[in-house]
Amino acid sequence: MSFLDIISLTRRFGGLKAVDNLNLSIEEGSLTAIIGPNGCGKSTLFNLICGALKPDIGTIILDGVHLENMTATEIARHGVGRKFQVPSIFDDLTVMQNIHLPTLRKSRFASEGPSWTVQQILELTKLAHRKYDLGSELSHGEKQWLEIAMILSQSPRVILLDEPTAGMSLSETEQTADLIKSINANNNATVLVIEHDIGFIERLNCPLHVMSSGTLLKSGNFLEIRQDTEVQELYFGKAGDFHA
Ligand code: ADP
Ligand code: MG
């Protein structure tokens, strides 16, 4: 058994199997990326892990505990920290207040994942110089990093990041890859990232899983995946350059 085990997971929407008999094992302390074309079921997979959706079939076990029958709140308490595609920070609170907010509720959280001090979180997310600024004053990239900071303050056992670079400039995208790598390396945090941006995935330099039609098509490192003709056809309809 691994730290996070997903076994035979299936979720239908009407006739569509958005997640289809998916199996995935994640080791504690690992950084893993999940890629795949639009609509292949990546966000649905995260929704199932964090309890926003219930599976039709299958099992999700985190650190020995079954999640599939828990509520979203119970799953958050057990230590699943999830970042959504659109950042949801509080515009009228300062950066510090935004980071403190989840810790105020922490007594309600039983999660025993890696923990960081507020100062460490501010430094990791490059927000130390912004700590007294309002959420509304942050750039788009900084808002995304603040949302990651808010997740870290909950000491999650596993961190789920859904397209953390959506809408970012190239430089912000590169900084986000470095930030995620340092969160993983600095405190042995278990991080699972969904992403579209191939440059970002290359910079993350971590094991990849490719999803297609709700299931896992391939797993490997960046070079193995880039050279795979099935993956190239999935992305471009024909064998070609993965970077195209
Ligand atoms: P991805 O994140 O890989 O782009 P999603 O998991 O969002 O893909 O969606 C997978 C498939 O499930 C898509 O065809 C999408 O339209 C469908 N889908 C996702 N959520 C719902 C929902 N709440 N109701 C109906 N269909 C959905
Ligand atoms: Mg998605």
List of domains in the chain: 4-87+156-236 (3.40.50.300)
From ligand 1's centre to the CA of 159, what distance in Å? 21
pLDDT value at residue 1: 86
For the CA of 19, the nearest ligand: 1
Alpha helices in the chain (DSSP H): 42-50, 72-77, 95-104, 118-124, 140-152, 170-187, 198-204, 222-226, 229-236
Cα dihedral sign, 100-101-105-109: negative
From ligand 1's centre to the CA of 12, what distance in Å? 10
Phi, psi for residue 163 in degrees, rounded to 5: 50, 60
pLDDT tens figures, 145-169: 999 999 999 899 999 999 999 889 9
Mean of the per-residue pLDDT values of the chain: 91
∠ at Cα 189 (182, 25), nearest 5°?
A: 120
For the CA of 161, the nearest ligand: 2
pLDDT value at residue 234: 84
pLDDT value at residue 105: 63
pLDDT tens figures, 177-211: 999 999 999 888 999 999 978 889 999 999 999 99
pLDDT value at residue 244: 35
pLDDT value at residue 134: 97
Q: Is the CB of 43 under 6 A from ligand 1?
A: yes
Phi, psi for residue 238 in degrees, rounded to 5: -160, 160
Amino acid at 212: S
pLDDT tens figures, 54-70: 999 999 999 999 999 99
Answer yes or no: is pLDDT of 23 > 70.
yes
Q: How far is CA 15 from CA 11, 18, 20, in A?
A: 10, 9, 12
Answer yes or no: is pLDDT of 141 > 60.
yes
Q: How far is CA 94 from CA 128, 144, 147, 188, 194, in A?
A: 12, 14, 13, 28, 28
Answer yes or no: is pLDDT of 240 > 90.
no
pLDDT over 70 for what percent of the chain?
91
Q: Is the CB of 18 under 6 A from ligand 1?
A: yes
**How many CB atoms neighbour CB 137 within 10 A?**
13
Answer yes or no: is pLDDT of 82 > 50.
yes
Answer yes or no: is pLDDT of 86 > 70.
no
Beta-sheet pairing, 158-162 with 57-62: unpaired
pLDDT value at residue 83: 83
For the CA of 37, the nearest ligand: 1
Q: Taking a C-beta distance cutoff of 8 angstroms, is the pair 4, 190 a contact?
A: yes
pLDDT value at residue 109: 53
Answer yes or no: is pLDDT of 174 > 60.
yes
From ligand 1's centre to the CA of 76, what distance in Å? 22
